[in-house]
Homo-oligomer: A and B are copies of this chain.
Amino acid sequence: MNRNTPVKPVDLAVRVCGLRLKNPVIAASGTYGYGAEYRRLAPPADFGAIITKTVTLAPRAGNPPPRVFETASGMINAIGLANVGVEAFLRDKLPGLRRCGALVIANIAGNTADEYARLARRLDGAPGIAAIEVNISCPNVRHGGVAFGTDPRVAASLTRKVKKAAKLPVIVKLSPNVSDIAAIARAVEDAGADALSLINTLYGMAIDSRRRRPVLGNVTGGLSGPAIKPVALYCVHQVCQAVKLPVIGIGGIRSAEDAAEFMLAGACAVQVGTATFADPGAARAIARGLAAYCREHGFGKASDITGALHK
């Protein structure tokens, strides 16, 4: 490069449903705790936003161990939504995260649509929460345990209830374990969601052939990490063609190129989960790498990458 040409700074900031993220890299729910745990290794300030571990109304102990296991280029987990409950979250966890100046998105889950609505209402008033991400991959106890995210009508009615309960932007997090993720996305869009994030983990299982036992205490779990990236890219690509809502891409992202792929497919931001376990510096490296990617491709700002896939 010509040494006399000043390198034009790349604007990494992106806008997602009214929020301004200083960069497109978001910590994925459940992989970053409540922010404090990684404060030294992967400071909240490195991320465009932080999504906290799913909270439920009451605290949850979670599943019996083992809860995590490594698989080929991935891992499965069955944490069982272990969390401190919404009240302890607001009281003990949120203040610290606020002091770091992080943009905080709270992720919620319930056993019934009413529980989701109550959680949304409770969080809506709380200072320091920028948006709500709704984890719809949970079993709906009222409907035989079938996940809320599986049926377009159920997902839509859940979205409507949460929207009614909260003035904050509502991001609905989609499950990939469905026949037609675009249909769910459209239903959720029509129901008033402000943004979509995808994908949550794929259903998976591991067996210990030596002990002839399922590895996980919960028998089955959720698959994440680089192994699922092609599935996640497929889902993001399908959903971006089906809806106009902003989409946040998730699944196996560990490099700036990975992040760029999701943005090219139409995502306006990305979440990083499993990669942080392997490399706590991943988010920072991805944000930097996206700036370099923009420079190479002549994009003035990171948001220009979104949808810039040649047809």
Contact = CB atoms under 8 A, between A and B. Distances in A.
Contacts of A213: 309-310
A229 interface: yes
A211 to B, nearest CB: 7
B73 A309 contact: no
Contacts of A265: 205, 207
A140 B237 CA distance: 22
Nearest to A260: B209
A223 B226 CA distance: 13
Contacts of A211: 310
A contact face: mostly helix, strand, loop, or mixed: mixed
Contacts of A225: 72
Oligomeric state, in number of copies?
Answer: 2
B207 A264 contact: yes
Nearest to A219: B237
A230 interface: yes
Given A74-B227, A229-B71, A230-B223, A179 B205 contact: no
Interface residues on A, range: 35 or more
Interface string A150-181: 11000000000000000000000000011110
A78 to B, nearest CB: 11
Interface of A: 71-74, 76, 146, 150-151, 177-180, 202-207, 209-214, 219-221, 223, 225-231, 233-234, 237, 252, 257, 260-261, 264-265, 293, 297, 308-310
